[in-house]
Amino acid sequence: MASSSTSAVSERRGIPAAAFVEDVQTYLTQSGLDVNSSLAFLQERLQQYKLVEMKLLAQQRDLQAKIPDIEKCLDIVATLQAKKGTGEALIADFEVSEGIYSRARIEDTDSVCLWLGANVMLEYSCDEATNLLQKNLENAKASLEVLVDDLHFLRDQVTVTQVTIARVYNWDVHQRRSKQAAAAAAKDS
């Protein structure tokens, strides 16, 4: 599998990319940091990534709850429209309060009211309502897709950072062992 070009991305929507370390020795020399400072820096980066991940996951949960709501609204408007030609009223039982239901009789109607949020409700014709709801649904789905891609990117950066931490740590252990071995050999000779 050839290397993909994702190594060229330096950041995505405000999330900095984690630079891949080709060689630990070169990385430490170039950054001028000693092992402990380097590890501290990488750990901090990891924490920042985790914070962003939590924020994105919360946004994802909101969107995932919003989408079925919009689909239910579309269903109701479609049902009302289907009833329109027949001259029959739609009879529906709805919840007045927890555990208490009442019966409503919805006559043939050309319009519905949509809750837009911020204490605002507007009346729309059935067709306009369907269009608006459809557009909202598409926007929500598109936002969700972008969000999911962001999360994938973020998780990749977390993985790269975790691997880098492990490699720097292992390199350090390796160095200490070599130094100890060299010192022991020097003492014996």
Partner 1 sequence: MQQGGGSDTEVTWEDQQNINKFGRLNNRFHELEDEIKIAKEMNENLEDASNELILTDDEVVRFQIGEVFAHMPREEVESRIEQMKEVTSKNLEKLEEEKDSVLAQMAELKRILYGKFKDSINLEED
Q: Which residues bind partner 1 (CB under 8 A)?
A: 1, 3-4, 6-7, 20, 22-23, 72-73, 75-76, 79, 90-95, 101, 104, 152, 155-156, 159-160, 162-163, 166-167, 170-171, 173-174
**Over the Cα atoms of the chain, what is R_g?**
29
Q: Smallest gap, in angstroms, from Cβ of residue 118 to partner 1?
A: 20
CB 129 within 8 A of CB 84: no
- Pick the closer one to partner 1 by CB: 50 or 72: 72
Rounded Cα distance between 124 and 130, Å, is 9
- Pick the closer one to partner 1 by CB: 3 or 189: 3
- Both tokens assigned to 22: 């080709």
Q: Smallest gap, in angstroms, from Cβ of residue 70 to partner 1?
A: 10
- Pick the closer one to partner 1 by CB: 34 or 115: 115
Q: Smallest gap, in angstroms, from Cβ of residue 189 to partner 1?
A: 26
- Pick the closer one to partner 1 by CB: 36 or 170: 170
Q: Smallest gap, in angstroms, from Cβ of residue 76 to partner 1?
A: 5
- Both tokens assigned to 68: 């079925």
Rounded Cα distance between 170 and 89, Å, is 74
Q: Smallest gap, in angstroms, from Cβ of residue 26 to partner 1?
A: 12
- Pick the closer one to partner 1 by CB: 85 or 188: 85
Task: Tell how many helices (H) and how many strands (E) occur in the chain.
Answer: 3, 6
Burial label for 66, CB within 10 Å (0-12, 13-18, 19+), is middle
The count of other CB atoms within 10 Å of the CB of residue 112 is 20
